[in-house]
A = this chain, B = another copy of it.
Amino acid sequence: MAEMNMAKAINKALHEAMEHDERVVVLGEDVGKDEGVFRITEGLLAKFGEKRVIDTPLAESGIVGTSIGMAMYGLRPVCEIQFSGFDYYAYHQLESHAARMRNRTRGRLTVPMVMRAPYGGGIRALEHHSEAREAIYAHTPGLKVVIPSGPRNARALLHASIQDPDAVVYYEPKALYRAFKEEVPDKIETLPIGQAQVVLEGSDISLISYGASLRVTLEAAEVLDEEHGIKADVIDLLSIAPLDTTTIVESVRKTGRAIVIHEGPRTCGIGAEVVARINENVLLYLEAPVRRVTGYDTIIPYFSKEKAYLPDADRIVAAALETLEF
């Protein structure tokens, strides 16, 4: 048992995975000598050497495309895209191949790879460094999309992602890298991909979120409880593809009210899908419209103003009160 932040926990998982499975290789821009611009790959080059920890040329399609080749050859590449705002350069490779090879070859070839990328706002970064476009990947059949919300589940989910026989997009909420510490057990844990967690039990309203937004959601739940005596059922999706319909549906059947919270743009975002699944499964239990507290359909404002764009406890609390008064 040791206390560590999320950056350290992800780093720990990479060390563990490379120790336990020599097929695991790490590649990307500045992941070697520099140990990653966020230091997520700290110590890897020193311990595992240049063959397995690869500083690549500056080319995202190259990084993802060669990872796909390596995976088909039998390795387990874990590639890093320096910021999610640049993974679009490689989207054609992920969509056309990583997500399709198993189906295309009727199972003869598979692409067991992980594409890691820091995503989301809140660190006063430049334009293109604060995007949250995870829905693009959730909308891409054949991919899994995993998003941790804390040190412990980050480590467990990264292990699960690396062990997964298919391509996984592992998005790291960069605002949480060093936001807080948590006990992380010594023995390796994994969490099943596609299973959400109820992180707080309550029967008044369901608050559904993931990633950095889960933290403000928990803040909001606390305020709702302490200041308004409202008990929220807080769900951490952990993976947005596959999306855990069952957990969402059971919660809403209990509460009859729900809010979905995320950073990304609203239109066709994860929130829309959550609302759609609630509508399909428990419409008659709904006592109020499901609210979406999300990023807006704009470019996230430059950092002097970015906080206004990001969901915060206030917006969630207010939405919850309105939903309960509806």
On A, residues with C-beta under 8 Å from B are 85-86, 88-89, 91-92, 95-96, 99-100, 103-104, 127-128, 133, 135-136, 138-142, 241, 243, 265, 267-273, 275-276, 278-281, 283, 286, 288-292, 296-299
Are the CB atoms of B96 and A141 closer together than 8 Å? no
The distance in angstroms between the C-alpha atoms of A265 and B152, with both chains bound, is 33
Which residue in B272, B283, B289, B298 is a CB contact (below 8 Å) of A272?
B272
Residues of B within 8 A of A95 (CB): 88, 133
Are the CB atoms of B279 and A275 closer together than 8 Å? yes
Are the CB atoms of A267 and B279 closer together than 8 Å? no
Residues of B within 8 A of A100 (CB): 127, 299
Which residue in B103, B139, B275 is a CB contact (below 8 Å) of A139?
B139
Chain B nearest CB from A147 CB (Å) reads 14
Which residue in B96, B290, B299 is a CB contact (below 8 Å) of A279?
B290
Residues of B within 8 A of A142 (CB): 298-299
Chain B residue with the shortest CB-CB distance to A133? B139
Chain B nearest CB from A258 CB (Å) reads 10
A-B contact pairs, 5 of them (CB 8 A): A99-B299, A138-B267, A139-B139, A141-B296, A276-B276
Give the copy number.
2
The distance in angstroms between the C-alpha atoms of A292 and B291, with both chains bound, is 20
Chain B nearest CB from A127 CB (Å) reads 7
Contact A268/B265 with A92-B91, A279-B279, A297-B141 known, Cβ cut-off 8 Å: no
Are the CB atoms of A139 and B128 closer together than 8 Å? no
Are the CB atoms of B141 and A298 closer together than 8 Å? yes
Are the CB atoms of B268 and A138 closer together than 8 Å? yes
Contact A267/B290 with A92-B88, A135-B139, A275-B276 known, Cβ cut-off 8 Å: no
Residues of B within 8 A of A271 (CB): 276
Contact A286/B283 with A139-B139, A141-B297, A276-B272 known, Cβ cut-off 8 Å: yes
The distance in angstroms between the C-alpha atoms of A268 and B273, with both chains bound, is 5
The distance in angstroms between the C-alpha atoms of A243 and B267, with both chains bound, is 9
Are the CB atoms of A135 and B268 closer together than 8 Å? yes
Residues of B within 8 A of A138 (CB): 267-268
The distance in angstroms between the C-alpha atoms of A267 and B140, with both chains bound, is 8
Interface core residue of A141, A267, A291 (most chain B CB under 10 Å): A267
Which residue in B141, B267, B272, B298 is a CB contact (below 8 Å) of A241?
B267
Which residue in B91, B265, B276 is a CB contact (below 8 Å) of A88?
B91
Are the CB atoms of B103 and A298 closer together than 8 Å? yes
Chain B nearest CB from A86 CB (Å) reads 7
Are the CB atoms of B299 and A104 closer together than 8 Å? yes
Residues of B within 8 A of A88 (CB): 91-92, 95-96
The distance in angstroms between the C-alpha atoms of A287 and B292, with both chains bound, is 22
Which residue in B85, B139, B278 is a CB contact (below 8 Å) of A268?
B139
The distance in angstroms between the C-alpha atoms of A251 and B296, with both chains bound, is 26
Residues of B within 8 A of A270 (CB): 268
Chain B nearest CB from A255 CB (Å) reads 15
Contact A139/B241 with A275-B275, A289-B283 known, Cβ cut-off 8 Å: no
